[in-house]
Structure 1
Amino acid sequence: MPVDTAPATGFADRDPALRPLLDRVLGAEDRARIEPLLTELGTLAADEIDRQATVADASPPKLRGYTPDGERVDAIEYHPAHDRLAHFAYERFALAAMSHRSGVHGWPSRVPHTVKYALSYLYVQAEFGMACPLSMTDSAARILRLFDPERYADEIAALSSTDPEHRATGAMFMTEKQGGTDVGLTETVATDHGTHWTLTGRKWFASNPGADVVLTLARVPGQGEGTRGLGMFLMPRTRPDGSRNTIRIDRLKDKLGSRSIASGEVTLDAAHATPVGDLSRGFRQMAEMLNVSRLSNAMRSAALMRRAVRESVDHTRERRVFGVPLFDQPLMRMTLLPMILDAEAAIALVLESAARLDDADAGDVEARELVRVLTPLAKHTVCKRARTVTGEAMEIRGGDGYIEDRVHPRLLRDAHLGSIWEGSSNVIALDVLRCMRSRKAHRALAGTYTDRLVDLPLPAAKHLVVRWAEVSARGDRLLGAPHDEQQMLIGRYADELSRTVMATLLVEQASHTPDDGRALLVAHTWLSLLTAPETLPRTALDRLAALADGGDVPLSAAQEALNV
């Protein structure tokens, strides 16, 4: 069995960005409550969770279709390492429960999304796969709370339970063979029987197919074509009489990554189901589930980047080439610097999106509009960049990084998943374009972040105000182009929006801690490279150890790094 030696220090303690960012985005009471959890989960993630994840990845689940007597059971059997990972995620740290019930970890109300994503980010640095059913369980409870809370009170309670005897997991079955991206091609048909409905069709890629609670879309007769004709339904694993529902798992997918959890092809053979919310708004309700799942994808990719950076920094410090540590080699420093910056900017964007989601859930209409575009932007840019960062980490490790004894192959495999699940990068970019067309989302971003910059006492803030005006005008020109050209250009423009938001957040962070030269150096270096990619960031390269580990940087040196 491959074994990767984890560092003795916890992942939270070795992350120079996480705690300072939380100091800014959380109130004092929430910040105090999360601190012991950061330490505990960060330590476990660097030790037992990481070890169990290695075993679970090498021991994927298996489908047991029938009993020895020939009775169909469609049971998925997991390795004990998977069950231990589930214990930490669902029970010990309540990552699926905390957004839906009060009292978790001492919070008097529901735990903020920022806290949930910060803790999940630590967990995922060790175990990526479990975060998929975890996210769907969390999202399923959210959708039922939003759109049908009275009918599904028992299901919400089970999905948000931390009791191993009563907790349930959730899933979202959307993809069909003929219509992945084009959900309007869904062929699964719903039939009304008065007291319940039945669903008949086939789902081609169903993650967590053995879930207790499945949300899915099906065509409602007489409701119309395309997405208008789709209603949302809940399919339980067992019918009300206790018998097994007719959700047949035809086979499990042999996936490149995320191997610790199951994904499969599923046939719905007149499966028992009940409607969720307004059947005429099924697709819109599912879109809400998709949007929060996409933010989870971005969080997971940020976690993979942080783990990849940590592995690379550790290796280059230990490895000597021609008598000099790799970390001190000029070209290696130039390779590590953007990885370090990308990891820090990624978690800043995730926490910002989570904070705006908290505001939106509290009734802030402007925040709801903002998070609608921040989420696809985060997924588009962070997930795509994670593929590069994890690939660089493998190359930095060399031949050993290509061998399954190390964590690098798992990081690389899992990183590619982020850009595919819940919509590929092109699908997500087109979603950003829809937000721009219907909501002028690029202007909303420019207005919001310009307002947050204008009073900051940093020269970088003034440069960013000018940049936001330019980026907003560029978005207007994009919308004025022919529709095919809009689609051609939107991927590049989405990244530009994302990176300008990230620059704003890093400058805000530096302003929040005016005596922190490291935060100012990060912000100045990011902005300089964003504005002039050919810049040689000498100050940052000279202070790479402080950027990698945290540490003191003279303010005078950080101020010199601004080159725009």
Structure 2
Amino acid sequence: MPTHEVFNQVPPLVDYDMADDPALLSGLAREGAGWATAELHDLGRLGGATAAIEHGRLANEHPPVLRSHDRYGHRVDEVEFHPSWHELMRTAVTYGLHAAPWSDDRPGAHVARAAKFYTWRPDAGHGCPISMTYAAVPALRHAPELAGRYEPLLTATTYDPGLRPALGKQGLLAGMSMTEKQGGSDVRANTTTARPEADGSYRLVGHKWFTSAPMCDVFLTLGQAPGGLTCFLVPRVLPDGTRNPVRLMRLKDKLGNRSNASAEVEYEHAVAWRVGDEGRGVRTIIDMVNLTRLDCLIGAAAGMRQGVVTAVHHAVHRRAFGRQLVDQPLMRNVLADLAVESEAATVLMLRLAGATDRSARGDTGEAAFRRLGVAIGKYWVCKRWPGHAAEALECLGGNGYVEESGMPRLFRESPLNSIWEGSGNVAALDVLRALTRDSQVLAAFEAEVDAAAGADPRLDAAVRRLRASLADPADAQLRARRLVEQLALVLQGVLLVRGGHPSVAEAFCASRLGGAHGYAYGTLPAGVDLTTIIDRATPKVG
């Protein structure tokens, strides 16, 4: 006989439109990509469907496996994935998340792609090779002959996995391989050597400690050529069908991002082709790094949205202490606070995607703004995500700590984006470099801020404090994190005041800029329009 009745249970958050996000949709139109709205909703409904969510679960519960040798003892260096991984990848490539803006001349193409990358999130791990491929194209253009051959395949919307000669495939994916054991972020300390050959190729000997997406077809990597640190294109399979001697030593056993493979590799005289001039490797590959940093910001913003939507869905359907959780005053404060943080991240990522789009079309002012804004956003939003994920998980109570809720996977994912492509200190110091090396960068930021002058007295006061900090050169590196926080909060305030929902802008300015906020989420001041803010984060299921 049953011992009890099961009731007061939250239904699974499935069969909803992940693109049904007011901040996302208004920003899409504001940044010039409203033409992508219908396709974005198509992708959002796919992402929120039961099938896609199940693919995300399976891809993480069955992580990739390295097959270093075949049954006969031959070296093969292949990575084996669960079929769900391939389904997720196929959708991402079909919708152009990997490289569509490079073959699409419409204004707003980078914004549309950013919105899709943000929306298609049944699993975060498969976003790595998607992001790498998107970012590889502008770096590869430093070698026009290579770009002419490989770019059409990198931008193709056909997912074609498997190890075969790259130019014989229907579509390609690109990875990146930069850091070494002894250097980490200090890539100028790399020891991998690159010997030029008579046919114009190079032979690489050395190792890489982190190779992102080792199952990709081609990689951008760094090696010490006779002229100094240089960028190279390395194929997995050579044109004659033989395996390039890029040895996968092992896959990383990571905290999160477990559906995706990250590898340690060794180059045993691997064939490579130069991208850009010798000695200009960092300057060449930085074109790739800047775009992957933007994707770190987009991914963190997407993770915040996923966390708050899950928390609100739970609170709407769960009853405690005589009423629904979503009607409990303190829970409402927490949910609204999480939603404010999420929307601030979303408007920032869309503004920077717009700047990326316009700078790709020759707008030097937008290029200068993007140079500083991406570094600021990468630092701040990625730093905010782990605390946000923890608070969203806690909204589910003990149920949120259980794997079946999906929240532990989200929480484990949350520290990655702050570490990937330059940890917090690297990003903060990059902001200082941008401010000191190019006067146009600060001028572009000032112009953005001045456009909101007088709109909110708390924002105006925060701008005055920021300008005082910028004018003080003392202990700049010591104070770098605090300065970047100020830059980020002012920029998010400006964007919300100018283009965000009034209730969200008011809550942000009162709490983040006006000082009416504690150290934890759920400390918004009285008078904030909690109902409107929570409604904007409530998913419409069914």
Give your verdict on TM over 0.5.
yes
Q: Distance in 1 between matches of 2:191 and 2:398?
A: 47
Q: Which amino acid aligns with 2:334?
A: T
Q: Is the 8 A contact 2:14 2:53 kept in 1?
A: no
Q: Distance in 2 between matches of 1:468 and 1:532?
A: 12
Q: Which amino acid aligns with 1:369?
A: A
The match for 2:27 is 21
The match for 1:310 is 309
* Aligned pairs (5 A) from 1:217-236: 217-221=222-226, 223=227, 229-236=228-235
The match for 2:185 is 181
Q: Which amino acid aligns with 1:529?
A: S
Q: Is the 8 A contact 1:197 1:273 kept in 2?
A: yes
Q: Distance in 1 between matches of 2:358 and 2:340?
A: 27
Post-superposition offset of 1:110: 7.5
Post-superposition offset of 1:8: 2.5
Gap runs ≥5 in structure 2: 1-10, 161-169, 518-523, 538-542
- Is 1:498 aligned to residue 511 of structure 2? no
Aligned length: 511
* Aligned pairs (5 A) from 1:309-348: 309-348=308-347
Q: Which amino acid aligns with 2:490?
A: T
Gap runs ≥5 in structure 1: 103-107, 224-228, 511-518, 552-564
Tell me which of 107, 113, 119 is aligned to 1:122. 119
The match for 2:526 is 538
Q: Distance in 1 between matches of 2:498 and 2:108?
A: 24
The match for 2:509 is 527
Post-superposition offset of 1:342: 0.7
SS state at 1:505 partner: helix
SS state at 2:395 partner: helix
Q: Distance in 1 between matches of 2:450 and 2:334?
A: 34
Post-superposition offset of 1:492: 1.5
More helix by share: 1
Q: Distance in 1 between matches of 2:291 and 2:445?
A: 23
Q: Distance in 2 between matches of 1:46 and 1:379?
A: 26
Query: Which deviates more from structure 2 when the two are superposed, residues 110-119 or residues 399-408?
Result: 110-119
Q: Distance in 1 between matches of 2:278 and 2:13?
A: 49
Query: Which deviates more from structure 2 when the two are superposed, residues 440-449 or residues 148-157?
Result: 440-449
The match for 1:9 is 16
Tell me which of 16, 32, 54 is aligned to 2:57. 54
Q: Distance in 2 between matches of 1:453 and 1:317?
A: 36
SS state at 1:191 partner: strand
Post-superposition offset of 1:500: 0.6
The match for 1:70 is 73
Query: Which deviates more from structure 2 when the two are superposed, residues 351-360 or residues 444-453?
Result: 444-453
Deviations 1:34-82 (A, max 9, x none): 1211211111111132221111011101011111111111011110000
The match for 1:467 is 462
* Aligned pairs (5 A) from 1:400-411: 400-411=399-410
Q: Is the 8 A contact 1:16 1:549 kept in 2?
A: no
Q: Distance in 2 between matches of 1:311 and 1:272?
A: 47
Q: Which amino acid aligns with 1:194?
A: A
Q: Distance in 2 between matches of 1:358 and 1:20?
A: 17
Quickly say closer, same or farther: Cα 1:198–1:111, change in 2 above 3 A. farther
The match for 1:558 is none
SS state at 2:426 partner: helix
Q: Distance in 2 between matches of 1:133 and 1:451?
A: 38
Q: Is the 8 A contact 1:98 1:111 kept in 2?
A: no
Higher relative contact order, structure no. (Cα contacts within 8 Å, ≥ 6 residues apart): 2
Tell me which of 161, 170, 176 is aligned to 2:174. 170
Normalization by structure 1: what TM-score?
0.87
Q: Distance in 2 between matches of 1:548 and 1:489?
A: 35
Post-superposition offset of 1:330: 2.3
The match for 1:192 is 196
CA RMSD of aligned residues (A): 1.9
Post-superposition offset of 1:94: 1.5
- Is 1:489 aligned to residue 491 of structure 2? no
Q: Which amino acid aligns with 2:103?
A: R
The match for 2:7 is none
Q: Which amino acid aligns with 2:187?
A: V
Q: Distance in 2 between matches of 1:313 and 1:547?
A: 11
Post-superposition offset of 1:238: 1.3
Post-superposition offset of 1:169: 0.9
Q: Distance in 1 between matches of 2:270 and 2:430?
A: 32
Q: Distance in 1 between matches of 2:246 and 2:319?
A: 56
Q: Is the 8 A contact 2:108 2:354 kept in 1?
A: no
Post-superposition offset of 1:111: 5.9
Query: Which deviates more from structure 2 when the two are superposed, residues 492-501 or residues 109-118?
Result: 109-118
Q: Distance in 2 between matches of 1:110 and 1:247?
A: 39
State the percentage of identical aligned residues.
36
Quickly say closer, same or farther: Cα 1:334–1:158, change in 2 above 3 A. same
Q: Is the 8 A contact 1:34 1:115 kept in 2?
A: yes
Deviations 1:508-547 (A, max 9, x none): 115xxxxxxxx1111121111123323553232xx32321
Q: Which runs of 4+ in 1 moved over 3 A?
A: 108-111, 440-443, 462-467
Q: Distance in 1 between matches of 2:455 and 2:339?
A: 23
Q: Is the 8 A contact 1:298 1:382 kept in 2?
A: yes
Query: Which deviates more from structure 2 when the two are superposed, residues 462-471 or residues 162-171?
Result: 462-471
- Is 1:96 aligned to residue 84 of structure 2? no
Normalization by structure 2: what TM-score?
0.91
Q: Is the 8 A contact 2:503 2:532 kept in 1?
A: no
Q: Distance in 1 between matches of 2:144 and 2:54?
A: 39
Deviations 1:176-205 (A, max 9, x none): 000002111100000011211000101011
Post-superposition offset of 1:441: 7.1
SS state at 1:488 partner: coil
Tell me which of 75, 79, 82 is aligned to 1:79. 82
